[in-house]
Amino acid sequence: MIGVALKGLASRKLRALLTAFAVVIGVSMISGTYILTDTMQKAFDGIFESSYAETDAVISGKQIVEGSTSGSATVPASLLAKVKSLPEVGAAGGTLAADEANKSEIIGHDGKVIGGAGGAPTFGLGHDAQNEQFNPLELKSGDWPQGDKQVVVDAGSAEKGDLAVGQTIKVDTLGATKEYEITGIATFGDVDSLGGATMAIFDMPTAQALLHKEGAYDGISIQAKEGTSPAQLVKAVEPLVPSSLQVVDAKAQAEADAKETNDGMAFIRYFFLGFGAIALFVGSFVIFNTLSITVAQRTREFATLRTLGASRKQVMRSVYIEGLAIGLLASVVGLIAGFGIYKGLDALFVALGADLPKTGTVLATRTIIVSLLVGTGVTLLASILPARRATRVPPIAAVREGAELPQSRVASHSAKLAVGLIAASLAAICAGIFAGVSTLGVVVLLGGGILALFFGVAMAAPTMVKPLARLVGWPGRRTGGISGELATANAVRNPSRTASTAAALMIGLTLVTVVAVLGAGLRSSVEGAVTDQVKAGYVLNSPDDVSFGAAEGDAVAAVDGVTAVSHVRTDTALVDGEESDLTGIDPKTIDHFYAFDWVNGDDRTVPSMGIDDALVAKAYADDHDVKVGSELEIVSASGDKRTVTVRGVYDPPAIDQMLGMVSITQQAYDESFPQGKNRFTFLDAEPGSEQALMAAAKPFSDATLYTGAEFPREYTSGFADFLNLLYVMLAFSVVVSLFGMVNTLVLSVFERTRELGMLRTIGMTRRQARRMIRHESVITALIGAALGLPLGILLSALVTQALSQYDVSMSIPVGMLAAFTIVAVIAGILAAILPARRASRLDVLDALHYE
């Protein structure tokens, strides 16, 4: 039986290939994702390893606030001397951390800051000439810097900005720009650039001065003397360390550093794997469909085998073997194609400005095994029903012409089953969205519910094919003449087949519709929230809503023509022991731009705020049982403590509040957070000042000036980029369903060979035959759209309802939906190319003899 099955496959190579391709795409997405994340992981592991290679213990400021962009407490140089004198210490040196607080921008020859795009940090670092062993960087060329006029840059920046040893460049460190000579180019281990981050390396004293850390370091790296373990070292150092600092052994430090990266990596991995799974799911539909059709077409073949003595099991096995062969082939090809996906994803990251470190490409054994298992498994699963159907071919079908397969016991109940399944899946989805279950519960309910929904609709679809085909076939009938009419008639001939094919496309279209509708809704809601809160002539904001230097806000405010300005500082701090967003507002100017929706307060609340006063958002007040008069304790990342009293409670839009949960005055803020960072700078200016303002903001890499009119839209543009990423990922699934349509059409043309021969005999031209096939394809695709788009809108409505507490409105982007419909039409036309050509090229006489 194996021989028969495989030979059968070989004789239908084109069909087998087209079927296999349905799975190849999904498998390649999965293997590509694994290759990418494994490669990145290895590079990161290498980096963290080399950072602490020769270090046994590290003294650093305690991380009080995890999400803060201000640095932790610094380590005084005096401590370094004390540590050095310990008998357990072999060597010790001060370090400046690659921390967002140590901001240093390299300005290229064109006057623009190198790097810094997409939120990638720009670091200023110090090089300790006496303790090379603690230096995680390596010199690619040149020498380390000496004195306050020399700098070493990272290889990534050197390439981006065409920098070379010997050149003079400007570097802006914490607002002060100076000129330096490039004495060397450095790499971080094997890696040229760490995710787009740039580094300007000065000699230690210069760096300390520039970063306002004279006489202090961010940390001390310690190497134990020969014979002392890291644990012993830590024990020895501990008594010297004040309460604001901590000493940990280097391994623990490396692990802590790695954890955040690993979490990020896991997120990326599962994100892309999810889309691979969707593509595989669609692929399984396609395989199921194709195999079902071929089984039906080979009725006589199976019947003959049965008359020759093949048992039902043998016949079933032969279909499984076909499935297995296709699945294995597809998995292997998919695994190899995964490299292509890996390259593609990599290019995507580079385009987004975040080129991630790579060393040698990693193809883990796990990747190979998972690819093979998943591809073969999905194909085998999809073969189950067709294989069972093959067993129902009675031997007598060998003698009867046009024998029909008897219906399965399930088929007669399929309509009821479908309705039941749809109802159950909707219930699951609603439960996932509205019931307050755990995250895992939500994922399972939503994921399972949506999966079941697709199955249910696919099962119910055959009953909808007739009316839908008449509807979407109408333009074809009007414009396509007899071809169009025949096309509609052909589409409804075998409703389950048409429905199955359309269902594959439906899945992709449903998902993109959800993305589009939810995206539009979220976007317009956020825009609405922004417009409700802020009225300003101009807004200075960082493109990814990361904070920017306060000095930049001041620079723009200083331009001639500015009539009003208000800065909003921001950082994360501990408020009553809990991490929270904290903003610093200027009580004298903020009212002009920001509309406070008071719960407890009025027009006089803000202007009368003093250094010990604070405002809180209603959500915070409700969650923490805080009201006017309550006291809050605020601790900054550097350990600075202060107590403030709540003077007012306001209610910002839940979906996007532009001020933090807690706001204090700028005066108080600047005391606790010396390295001021702004979230916004609002400005009003005289007409005609726009050019000057834009010019002032131009050199900033991390802040952009927007007009008040364009700001709401621009504020959400990052979100729009994310949506585009989702569209690209979902496009893969649409391509898979395209293969499904081609498959079905090719098989259907083959099946109708004699009929097509007859049509040609009685006068149908080649062109009419092609047009007929094309129309059929477009009708099938449009049925997929007619099912998918409403389904997507329904799902979006459910989610929007669930988010109603955030005032998310339902916004149906008609333009996008029209675009999706056009995409479906194009998909139909593309899918028809090959089958239409075959239909038109039929040799009429041969076709008539065909049986």
Partner 1 sequence: MQTVVVQNQPPQASSSESVITARGVIRQYGEGDTAVQALRGVSVDIARGKLTAVMGPSGSGKSTLMHILAGLDRPTEGRVEIAGTEITDLDDTALTLLRRDHIGFIFQFFNLLPMLTAAENIVLPQKLAGVKVDSAWLEELTAKVGLTDRLTHRPSELSGGQQQRVAVARALVSRPSVMFADEPTGNLDSTTSGEILALLRDSVDTFGQTTVMVTHDAHAAEIADRVLFLADGEIVRDLPRCSAHKILETLEEVTRG
CB-nearer residue toward partner 1: 301 or 656: 301
Nearest distance from C-beta of residue 15 to partner 1, angstroms: 12
| Binder of partner 1 out of 305, 491, 659, 769 (CB under 8 A) | 305
Sign of CA pseudo-dihedral 276, 278, 279, 284: positive
Nearest distance from C-beta of residue 17 to partner 1, angstroms: 16
Nearest distance from C-beta of residue 309 to partner 1, angstroms: 3
| Binder of partner 1 out of 42, 212, 300, 754 (CB under 8 A) | 300
Q: Is 805 exposed, middle or buried (0-12, 13-18, 19+ CB in 10 A)?
A: exposed
Nearest distance from C-beta of residue 850 to partner 1, angstroms: 12
CB-nearer residue toward partner 1: 139 or 848: 848
8-state DSSP, 396: G
CB-CB neighbours of 793 under 10 Å: 18
Alpha-carbon span 537 to 17, nearest angstrom: 60
Nearest distance from C-beta of residue 193 to partner 1, angstroms: 56
Q: What is the Cα gyration radius of the chain?
A: 33
Instruction: Tell me the DSSP string of 337-350.
Output: HHHHHHHHHHHHHH
CB-nearer residue toward partner 1: 404 or 851: 851
Give me 395's structure tokens. Answer: 């031997």
Alpha-carbon span 708 to 719, nearest angstrom: 19
311 is an interface residue for partner 1 by CB under 8 A: yes
Q: Which stretch binds partner 1 (CB under 8 A): 306-314, 473-481, 778-786, 817-825?
A: 306-314
Q: Which stretch binds partner 1 (CB under 8 A): 310-318, 353-361, 810-818, 821-829?
A: 310-318
Length of the chain: 851
CB-CB neighbours of 14 under 10 Å: 11
Task: Return the biggest CA–CA distance within the chain.
Answer: 104
Give me 45's structure tokens. Answer: 């592991």
Give me 840's structure tokens. Answer: 């038109």
3-state class of 465 per DSSP? helix
CB-nearer residue toward partner 1: 133 or 307: 307
Nearest distance from C-beta of residue 845 to partner 1, angstroms: 16
| Binder of partner 1 out of 127, 213, 306, 752 (CB under 8 A) | 306
Nearest distance from C-beta of residue 746 to partner 1, angstroms: 17
CB-nearer residue toward partner 1: 116 or 323: 323
CB-nearer residue toward partner 1: 397 or 779: 397
Nearest distance from C-beta of residue 754 to partner 1, angstroms: 14
Give me 668's structure tokens. Answer: 């108080």
CB-nearer residue toward partner 1: 391 or 463: 391
What lies within 8 Å, CB to CB, of 513 at 6+ separation is: 788, 789, 791, 792, 793, 796, 817, 820
Alpha-carbon span 371 to 28, nearest angstrom: 8
Give me 246's structure tokens. Answer: 């901590």
Alpha-carbon span 488 to 471, nearest angstrom: 9
Q: Which stretch binds partner 1 (CB under 8 A): 31-39, 307-315, 372-380, 810-818?
A: 307-315
CB-nearer residue toward partner 1: 455 or 850: 850
Q: Which residues of 286-295 are buried (b: 16+ CB within 10 A; e: fewer)?
A: bbbbbbbbbb
Q: Which of residues 390-419 bind partner 1 (CB under 8 A)?
A: 394-396, 398-399
312 is an interface residue for partner 1 by CB under 8 A: yes
CB-nearer residue toward partner 1: 1 or 273: 1
Alpha-carbon span 525 to 804, nearest angstrom: 11
Nearest distance from C-beta of residue 307 to partner 1, angstroms: 5
Element (H, E) at 224: strand 219-224
Alpha-carbon span 170 to 177, nearest angstrom: 6
Quick one: how far is CA 618 from the chain centroid?
A: 32
CB-nearer residue toward partner 1: 249 or 301: 301
Q: Which of residues 3-32 bind partner 1 (CB under 8 A)?
A: 3-4, 7-8, 10-12
CB-nearer residue toward partner 1: 399 or 411: 399
| Binder of partner 1 out of 110, 166, 239, 308 (CB under 8 A) | 308
Residues in the site for partner 1, rule: CB under 8 A? 1, 3-4, 7-8, 10-12, 300-301, 304-312, 314, 394-396, 398-399, 851
